[in-house]
Structure 1
Amino acid sequence: MPVTDITTDAENLTMTVIADFAAPVERVWTAYADPRQLERFWGPPGWPATFTTWDHTVGGRAIYHMTSPQGEKSSGAWEFLTIEAPHRFEVLDSFVDADGNPLDGFPAMRMAFGFEASGSGGDSTRMTTTTYFTSVEALEQVTAMGMMEGTRMAMSQIDAVLQDLREYAQGKGTVVEFLDDTHVKITRLVDGPRELVWRAHHEPDLIKQWMLGPDGWEMMECTVSATVGDSYRTSWAPTGDTKGEPFGFEGEVLLVDAPFRAVTTERMQGLPTQTLNDLNLYEEDGATLVTVLIEYPDKETRDMILATGMADGMEESFKRLEREVLRGARS
């Protein structure tokens, strides 16, 4: 994880974040100077950022919002105070409404970002970010809002931005990352365009070709939707000599931003316990990084579900997706 230290200083009214990256200063600077790259890691998992205004000049403004899995939006704005590429910039960071106006009762903070080469070869960077508050109350307010943990979780996404996507993820298979007791991030690079990967997740005829888990299972039911408020239902049964009991899932669609993001609830048919599944697709150079952020009701449920071999089943399905759906579309 890039963040190596976060400290607060109530006497000097500051919060300081130190992060180390295995990339040159110029590359890290570009990630912060390009809104399309910045929005891939500025919001923590489950709250991705979208920059709608970007005037990267002294006195210019950037306006962004972060969207929760339920579709709630939290907006912010930067006013660029200093830009000294590629080593330093400062912004005045404010909480704003949908029109970009400052929100009453929320503090504005001056944030100074500094980038310096570290190591002997110039191929690594240390970033120091210092946030200056106007009062102890303002510092305590954003700390209580989860700024420290949110920063750690957001910065954990930057490695995928700094590297070429294939270099970062190809050949790693299905990767499971524990974010905390109730959140798990699952990633898999698939060799195909985002539009087709999206269709493969939302069109029954395509879903039935690949979303089968280990060999020996057949999808018996597939009712899906990409409309907020609709329900879906899928079920599987063993075939031939495969042992096991039929099972299925159902849930509701909470958010759709095709072909980038879809959020659904999920529960096993007949059981009340449900998870929140946040699917995100990012394409680069003809490959798509599939990211699923899963929120469990508690640690025990998380461990129980993962112990079923869910990740192994997903890997077999992803292999089938590439073999049966994506390659077939290109032939």
Structure 2
Amino acid sequence: MPVTDIITDHENLTMTVVADLAAPIERVWGVYADPEQLGRFWGPPGWPATFTSWNHEVGGRATYTMHGPRGEKSSGYWEFLAIEQPHRFEVLDGFSDEQGNPNEDFPAMRMEFTFESTPDGTRMRNTSHFVSLEALEQIVAMGAVEGTRMAMAQLDAVLQDLRDYAQGKGTEVELLDDTHVRITRLVEGSRDLVWRAHTEPELIKRWMLGPDGWEMTVCEVGLKAGDRYRNEWAPVGDTEGEPFGFEGEVLLVDAPRRAVQLERMSGTEGPDVLNDVNLYEEDGATLITVLMEFPDKETRDMILATGMADGMEASYQRLEGSVLTV
């Protein structure tokens, strides 16, 4: 977690985010000056940002839209007020429609980013200046503090080479809060092939099996929002256990980058768990990120206690060994 402090100053009408980043100042500047890299962490988990325009010069504008897991959208714009590479830049930040037209219902704010070299990397300060106490309180009430903290937690993966960040770590589970869990796994293979392995039944049946001794008996995929899907497994040979399955609804598909679906145990009334799968490729390796949203902490703990992460790791090993190497 790179964020070390978030300070709301009601007297000076500011909110300041302080983050210590394990990367040199030129590298940190680079991720803020590249819209593709910036989009990977500007929105909180589950709300990745896509920059649709980028004019990186004083007086220039950038526009972006964050896409929520259930098809929600939130758009905004930056107007660049100052650029002093690699130490400082300043923007006017505001809400907008998808075409970049300002939304006057929400106040714009001036944001100043400064970067300072430290013995361990770079210290970043992001100070947002508000026009009134009401504007500051409105943004805080919308979840800006926690949303910023969760968004910045994604920055480590962007600053590092993907293999340096994740290779050899296996399936990692991170508890974000009481209802959100992030699972990451790096696999050697292209994003296109990893996407096919998640969406083509004949490939899914070869790897999505959990521990040894199980087979997938039903694989009905959904390829667009609104589709239903169903997967079922059964023990093989002398493996102990009862057949089981999951079913649900596809909420969002952005091939080959992202798929979101609701999932529940077959034959039950829930609870539903939201699975938000994102794929990012760099230099022939693909980082699989699964953001899981649970209805409550009890459901989260119950599902994690089943050994889910171990079963996912066994499946990912099978994915690399029997699908991505073909």
Is TM > 0.5 for Structure 1 vs Structure 2?
Answer: yes
Structure 2 residue 13 is the aligned partner of structure 1 residue 13: yes
2:61 matches 1:61: yes
Pick one of 299, 302, 310 that aligns with 2:297. 299
In the TM superposition, structure 1's runs of 4+ consecutive aligned residues that sit over 4 Å from their partners are none
Structure 1 residue corresponding to 2:309, chosen from 304, 308, 311: 311
Q: Distance in 2 between matches of 1:102 and 1:10?
A: 25
- What is aligned with 2:3? 3
Question: Counterpart of 1:326 in 2: which secondary structure?
Answer: coil
Q: 2:228 — aligned with what?
A: 231
How much has 1:98 moved relative to structure 2? 1.7
Query: Is 1:268 matched up with 2:265?
Result: yes
**Percent of paired sites with the same residue:** 73
> In structure 2, what is the equivalent of residue 153 of structure 1?
150
Counterpart AA for 2:176: L
State the Cα deviation string for residues 224-272 of structure 1 (Å, max 9, x = none). Answer: 0211111000000001111011100000011000000000000000222
CA RMSD of aligned residues (A): 0.6
For 1:271 and 1:299, how far apart are their aligned partners in 2? 19
Match of 1:181 in 2: 178
Inter-partner Cα distance in structure 2 for 1:65 and 1:225? 25
Tell me the distance in 1 between the aligned counterparts of 2:18 and 2:9: 14
1:248 to 210, 229, 245: 245
What amino acid maps onto 2:124 in structure 1?
Answer: M
Aligned-partner Cα distance in 2 for 1:98–1:41: 19
What CA distance in whole angstroms lies between the structure 2 residues aligned with 1:257 and 1:154?
Answer: 21
Could you tell me how far apart the structure 1 residues matched to 2:252 and 2:105 are?
29
Distance 1:274 1:101 in 2: 37
Please give the TM-score of this superposition, normalised by the length of structure 1: 0.97
* CA–CA distance in structure 2, aligned partners of residues 98 and 155 of structure 1: 24
Matched residue, 2:159: 162
Which ranges in structure 2 are unaligned for 5 or more consecutive residues?
none
Distance in 2 between residues matched to 1:99 and 1:283, nearest whole Å: 28
Any unmatched runs of 5+ in structure 1?
none
SS of the residue aligned with 2:316? helix
Amino acid at match of 2:286: T
SS in 2 for 1:327: coil
Letter paired with 1:8: T
Measured after TM superposition, the shift of residue 72 of structure 1 is 1.1
Q: Could you tell me the TM-score, scaled by structure 2's length? A: 0.99
For residue 85 of structure 2, what is the aligned residue in structure 1? Answer: 85
CA drift of 1:101 comes to 1.1
Q: Secondary structure of the residue that 2:325 maps to in structure 1?
A: helix
Superposition deviation, residue 177 in structure 1? 0.4
CA deviation map 1:89-142 (0-9, x unaligned): 0000010012211112201000000000012xxx50000111000000000000
Counterpart amino acid of residue 289 in structure 2: T
The letter for the 2-side match of 1:86 is P
Partner of 2:322: 324
CA distance in 2 between counterparts of 1:105 and 1:45 reads: 25
Cα distance in structure 2, aligned partners of 1:85 and 1:174: 37
Task: Look up the match of 2:50.
Answer: 50
